[in-house]
Amino acid sequence: MKNKVFILLICLVLFDCVYFMPKLQFVRDHAARLFSKKVVTPIKAKKPVVAPDTKIGVITLSGEIKTSDTWVPLISKAMKDDTIKGVIAKVESPGGVPGAGEAIYIALKELRAKKPVVVLVENMCCSAGYLIACGGDMIISTRMADIGSIGVVAMLNHVKKPKTATNEELSVEFLTAGKHKIVGNAYAPSLTPEQRDHFMERINQAYNILCRIVSEERGLCLNSIDEWGDAQVFGGEEAVKRGLVDKNGSIAQAEQSIMELLDKRKIDHTKELALVNFA
């Protein structure tokens, strides 16, 4: 009897080993896999980085040109600002003294060497004002703008009978060193032929410099100067035909032209422009 019980116990143990042990191993394996898994923290999607609008400087040169003190520093400021990719120069001037005009033209030309510059004219760009405009890569004007007056003028005043503040006759006497020293003085006698020739020589020198700059910048022939540089004032449409303006338009066309120049120079930019006024 004891042997039978012993044999029965052995059979039960063997049955457990055969039937239950694999199941226990499965449970142990499954538990190990569950607890051995690494906890993965979900990565939050990054918000797309939106590139800022391309900054374009706007410099407005308006009124009679008497000095370069205001405009040259603004041009220099735009040139040194690395965030500014290009410049729209709005020129609204009837002209002025040629020396200041040339100084501003040179500064704008130096800016053009580093960044694209589009000149925009809405109303008037004449004489020294047009000289300044030649410093840009391109000139855009409205169709009704006044363009040109490429010439030089000098005005001499003469007081025939000078009087004092109390309306008394006044006698003026000059003591000079140099026979041309009082040329242009309102109280000086009328010009002698020699003085007039000297004065005209200076005027012609300034005129020739002006015409050479316009010819070189605009690709115009000096032999046909009477067609574009005889001090005529042209409307915007006619100025395009004469080669003094590249196209007619306004600020929208100026912005489009800046983008085209940026592409031409392979300068990265966004589709949207942010205009930054320099003043």
Domain range for 250: 54-150+224-278
* Count of domains forming the chain: 1
Residue 46: the pLDDT is 62
Please indicate, yes or no, if residue 92 is contained in any of the structural domains: yes
Does position 194 have pLDDT exceeding 50, yes or no?
A: yes
Beta-strand relationship, 146-148 and 233-235: antiparallel
Predicted local distance difference test score (pLDDT) of residue 127 = 97
Residue 259 lies in a domain: yes
The confidence score (pLDDT) of residue 271 equals 86
Residue 42 has pLDDT above 90, yes or no: no
Query: 150 or 44, which is more confident?
Result: 150
Residue 78's CATH number: 3.90.226.10
Q: Is the pTM value of this prediction over 0.95? A: no
DSSP-H helix ranges across the chain? 2-36, 71-80, 98-114, 128-133, 193-218, 225-228, 236-242, 251-264
Does residue 175 belong to any structural domain of this protein?
no
Q: How far apart are CA 90 and CA 140, in angstroms?
A: 10
- CA gap 94, 92 in Å, rounded: 7
Is residue 67 within 8 A of residue 98, CB to CB? The reply is: no
125-178: per-residue pLDDT in tens? 999 999 999 999 999 999 999 999 999 998 877 777 776 666 667 778 888 898
In a domain, 256, yes or no: yes
Task: Give the integer Cα–Cα distance in Å for 191 and 189.
Answer: 6
Residue 7 placed within a domain:
no
Question: What is the mean predicted confidence (pLDDT) over 51-67?
Answer: 91
38 belongs to a structural domain? no
Q: Does residue 35 belong to any structural domain of this protein? A: no
pLDDT at 29: 60
Virtual torsion, Cα 172, 178, 179, 185, nearest 10 deg: -40
- Residue 267 in any domain: the answer is yes
